[in-house]
Amino acid sequence: MRARLGILFAELSVALREITLKNKPEQMLAISPKGTVPVLQLADGTIIEESVEIMMWALEQNDPHGLLTHAPEEAAALIAQNDKEFKHWLDRYKYADRHPEMSQSDYRERGEIFIQKLEALLADNNYLLGADISAADIGVMPFVRQFAHVDREVFYGLPYPNVQRWLTAWLEHPLFIVAMKKYQPWQAGDELVIFGEKNVK
Find the DSSP H helices in the chain: 2-9, 26-31, 51-61, 72-81, 87-94, 104-121, 135-150, 152-155, 161-171, 174-179
CA–CA dist 162, 126 (Å, integer): 8
Same domain, 82 and 160: yes
Number of domains composing the chain: 2
Same domain, 113 and 133: yes
Same domain, 49 and 76: no
Q: What pLDDT shows up at residue 201?
A: 59
Same domain, 164 and 74: yes
- For residue 83, the one-letter residue type is D
Mean per-residue pLDDT, 183-187: 92
Q: pLDDT for 97-142, tens place per residue?
A: 999 999 999 999 999 999 999 999 999 999 999 999 999 999 999 9
Cα–Cα distances in Å, from 5 out to 51, 61, 106, 133?
10, 14, 31, 12
Same domain, 81 and 38: no
Same domain, 195 and 100: no
List the domain range (segments joined by +) for residue 181. 2-65+177-199
Q: pLDDT for 2-47, tens place per residue?
A: 999 999 999 999 999 999 888 898 899 999 988 888 999 999 999 9
- For residue 188, the one-letter residue type is A
Q: pLDDT for 20-31, tens place per residue?
A: 888 898 899 999
Same domain, 152 and 86: yes
Same domain, 100 and 17: no
Mean pLDDT of the chain: 95
